[in-house]
Amino acid sequence: MAANMQKMEWDEELALVASEMAASCDTGPSPQRSSTFTHIGWNRRLLPHGVASFSEAIDSWFEEGKDFLYLSGRCGENATCQHYTQLVWATSSHVGCASQLCHRGGDPWEIFACAYSPGGNWEVNGRLVLPYKSGPYCSLCTSSMSGCFRLWDHVGGLCEIPRNPCRMSCGQHGHLNISSCKCKCDAGFTGHFCQVRCSVQCVHGHFKEEECSCLCDVGYGGAECAEKVQFPFHSCDVMIDEDCFTLSSVADTYYGAKIRCQTQGGILGQIHSQKVQDILAFYLSQLETSNEVTNTDFETRNFWIGLTYKPLKESFHWDTGELPGFSSFAFGQPDNQGFGNCVELQASSAFNWNDQRCKTRNRYLCQHAACPQLTCSGDWLVPLYFPQNIHQAPGIMAKQICPSQGPTAVHPAVKAGFGAGNVSALYSDKK
């Protein structure tokens, strides 16, 4: 990786110089100076007309890098590398390009030309100066180029004049607030860098703008909370207190896993105590030998839980909106600094937590309420008990969901200190 690679800016004057060079259809020596630039570097290519586009010509220059030996600063035997080295010359910060149709011997040709400033391809004692310095990106920027420009879909960064103290870009669909270093996204887009096109309609749920996803009301599932969930809708792999956890048999991205859990009427698992962490970690460790990964390029032995990093809030939150009151991150975690926004139970760390890229394909834990403990008598409408949103839960017919529990079933409100006769007072809708 290049430690001092400068961000390249388009320059109209260099484009004019390149246009004049291309118009001459001359492949001889190129001018090294102009009225503005003291040294100009060049890349040119003459090809039969229609054989390649400008982008393909530039790609061909970059392909020369396969023959460049960085440690020795030399090109492979019988190979050409000078187009590549000028293309990646770290201190070349401005470029202008042009093309021109030429006729030679009655045949149409096309010349592609790019002018760079400051130019590169310097030599010392017959040896090429290395085009860039190797190391962590932006670690060797000069004081005048102390900014580090990064795009959301690129791993590295480029040295730049620090016009942007936030060192980030909101792309084509957002506007950067310099004072808060946060993006204001255009309508229809979301994400930390406004990189996600979002058109979700939450039919029976609440829209979560940061994630472009829905938090479904109880009893509904699917990506847009439009599917009525039929009961019973799950069987438990692990029951902890009144919460039921199921383990997926397939791998998916974080948001794919989230939708799959919602389709089953649940949520991605939440861990609010050391007890739950210990039990789940032990259970998963017992499955380790049978937790087969069929494609190591896309799958891991880890499991998603419902915790994500919210850049705008600069903290981790459960999918239901709460801040975690309990944490079990592995040693040195979290460490992905905004790129590992989703949390997994990591097998190599005894299933402690790790922040991971959300596009990673993991298995996942879904969490459901246990079969609701209800007073199953008469036609009273009582709430379906989900720990995360009991107070907002819609009512359903008791006889619809617990006909087999009999008269001994007790609603959680009774456990909390309300008399059995007061359950109907708490939820007084009648059929």
Which pLDDT tens digit goes with each residue over 143-190?
777 778 876 556 788 988 776 667 677 888 888 887 777 888 888 887
Range list of β-strands (E), 93-204 = 94-104, 107-117, 123-124, 127-128, 147-149, 158-160, 174-177, 182-185, 189-190, 196-197
Beta-carbon contacts of residue 176 (< 8 Å; ≥ 6 apart): 164, 166, 168, 169, 170, 182, 183, 184
Q: How confident is the model at residue 234 (pLDDT cuts 50, 70, 90)?
A: low
Distances, alpha carbon 428 to alpha carbons 17, 68, 98, 213, 383, in Å: 82, 78, 77, 33, 11
Helix ranges (H only) for 232-353 are 254-263, 274-287
The predicted pLDDT at position 395 comes to 35
- C-alpha 284, offset from chain centre: 26
- Looking at domain 9-160, which of 1.20.1250.20, 3.40.50.2020, 3.40.33.10, 3.40.50.300 is its CATH number? 3.40.33.10
- Looking at domain 232-369, which of 3.10.100.10, 3.30.360.10, 2.60.40.10, 3.30.1370.60 is its CATH number? 3.10.100.10
Q: Is pLDDT larger for residue 387 or for residue 230?
A: 230
Picking from 401, 402, 384, the residue whose alpha carbon sits closest to that of residue 393 is 384
The predicted pLDDT at position 280 comes to 93
Which pLDDT tens digit goes with each residue over 266-313?
899 999 999 999 999 988 888 765 555 555 555 678 999 999 998 777
Give dist(CA 150, CA 425) in Å, integer. Answer: 58
The predicted pLDDT at position 219 comes to 67
Q: How confident is the model at residue 355 (pLDDT cuts 50, 70, 90)?
A: very high
**Is pLDDT of 377 > 60?**
no
Which pLDDT tens digit goes with each residue over 46-80?
999 999 999 999 999 999 999 999 988 899 999 99
Residue ranges per domain, the chain? Answer: 9-160, 232-369
- Local structure of 101: helix, strand or coil: strand
Residue 223 · residue 204 · CB < 8 Å: no
The predicted pLDDT at position 308 comes to 93
- Render 195-219 in DSSP notation, one character per residue: -EE-----TTEEEETTTTEEEEPTT
pTM of the model: 0.41
The predicted pLDDT at position 93 comes to 92
Which pLDDT tens digit goes with each residue over 249-279?
889 999 999 999 988 888 999 999 999 999 9
Residue 45 carries which side chain, given as an amino acid letter? R
Residue 356 carries which side chain, given as an amino acid letter? Q
C-alpha dihedral, 204 to 209 to 212 to 215, nearest 10°: -30
Residue 66 carries which side chain, given as an amino acid letter? K
**Is pLDDT of 114 > 60?**
yes
**Is pLDDT of 115 > 90?**
yes
Picking from 401, 391, 419, 292, the residue whose alpha carbon sits closest to that of residue 347 is 292
**Is pLDDT of 400 > 90?**
no
Give dist(CA 408, CA 309) in Å, integer. Answer: 43
What is the residue-averaged pLDDT of the chain? 78
The predicted pLDDT at position 429 comes to 34
